[in-house]
Structure 1
């Protein structure tokens, strides 16, 4: 099981969390789907909890800050200096929605949006270093963005995080991004029926079983399971309409 308990390199998708309209129901849905346990409720942090996979931090979950907002998964990028990264976001034409905010000793968070309106977060690690388990069933496998203008998005994220890009052959302009020599995620144009913005993909032992479990819990299938050279993948939405992917 790949695990990590030290801060992630700058620009790495290092944390994901979910804004839930119904926290107990969301905990039940995702806990059953991914085999997650949960840390104790934290009233001092607005009821935010961490999902644990075999004792390792896998994701976060808390109530929607804006009751009128749509539930969704947020991708956070590691930032050793959140304030300096915010400066680069603004200089590149993005927007800082939530200024750097200390979350006790755990770290500093930011919520931002790129010039096309796609939301993402920053996490400057303190005692909480982000995901501790990844690439295993029930944990984060991949983050990518579907955007209106991929070229402009690549320029923005390169300016903010120093990303370099490699086009995936036969993937209609979809590129991976990296800060060194290891792909960290992907970026491409909008596909018919696919959600816009940053998306989270979870590793699962069986894509078909995961899809069946989502449907049984009143979720929906946006893209039926299909085989790719990277694995068997499907796009689904939870009972509240939040989209995510699963990959075997």
Structure 2
């Protein structure tokens, strides 16, 4: 069981789901991934901590209609100085959405968009160091930005989060860059300018591990979700894309030996 006590600086460290149907979401993800849930308490606004095999993997919260935002997954990146990182966002071409704020005893968070409009979060830990289970069934295995402004996005995250990047492909048909943190390759950036539908913004997406991608897709449809892209074998494993009962997109990836 791959267990991580802390995330490298600049790397994805936490994910959470904002959903308009918390009860249904809990039932759905428990069936698909075997997740369990515990309320963080009223002092945290009803936030729900999600665990897999007793280890933190995600968070969940109710969507507030006043926010006027769609149900979605959010990805947070590790920083040791959230104020300095947030201050670097606008000069690099991004925009702040939620100013840095303290989550009592847990850490500091903020939200922003990159130059292509993709939403992301920042997290500076106190007691809470993010998801502990990685590269396992029901846990995050990969994070991907699909962006309308490929080169501007890469430059932005290099400047703001200090990424060390490596181009995997740079052709008109397929452009993809990965980021390394020490000896760990943890995320990718894909040029989506030619493939994103007009009404779909640049966005971060999460790949969750699955012991059997095809069986997981069946569980997804049995519990109110939908298949967006059926399972297919790729050089990166067997992959698929789906949505949960309120239409939130996520991906599945077979576990690589």
Q: TM-score, normalised by structure 2?
A: 0.91
Cα distance in structure 2, aligned partners of 1:71 and 1:102? 23
Structure 1 gaps, min length 5: none
Q: Aligned residue for 1:103?
A: 103
Tell me which of 226, 230, 233 is aligned to 2:239.
Answer: 233
Instruction: Give matches, 1:177-216, under 5 Å.
Output: 177-190=179-192, 192=195, 196-216=202-222
Superposed displacement of residue 59, structure 1: 0.5
Deviations 1:124-158 (A, max 9, x none): 01111000101010101110100001111111111
Asked if the contact 2:227/2:242 (under 8 Å) is kept, the reply is yes
Structure 2 gaps, min length 5: none
Q: Aligned residue for 2:250?
A: 244
Cα distance in structure 2, aligned partners of 1:175 and 1:9? 18
Instruction: Give matches, 1:1-248, under 5 Å.
Output: 1-5=1-5, 7-40=6-39, 42-67=41-66, 68-169=68-169, 172-190=174-192, 192=195, 196-248=202-254
| Aligned alpha-carbon RMSD (Å) | 1.7
Superposed displacement of residue 66, structure 1: 4.1
- The list of structure 1 runs, each at least 4 consecutive aligned residues, that deviate by more than 6 angstroms after superposition, is none
Cα distance in structure 1, aligned partners of 2:36 and 2:182? 33
Cα distance in structure 1, aligned partners of 2:64 and 2:96? 16
Asked if the contact 1:46/1:63 (under 8 Å) is kept, the reply is no
1:155 aligns to what SS in structure 2?
helix
Asked if the contact 1:193/1:222 (under 8 Å) is kept, the reply is no
Asked if the contact 1:145/1:187 (under 8 Å) is kept, the reply is yes
Deviations 1:28-50 (A, max 9, x none): 11111100111135221111111
Asked if the contact 1:51/1:58 (under 8 Å) is kept, the reply is yes
Cα distance in structure 2, aligned partners of 1:172 and 1:69? 30
Cα distance in structure 2, aligned partners of 1:220 and 1:236? 6
Q: How many residue pairs get matched?
A: 247
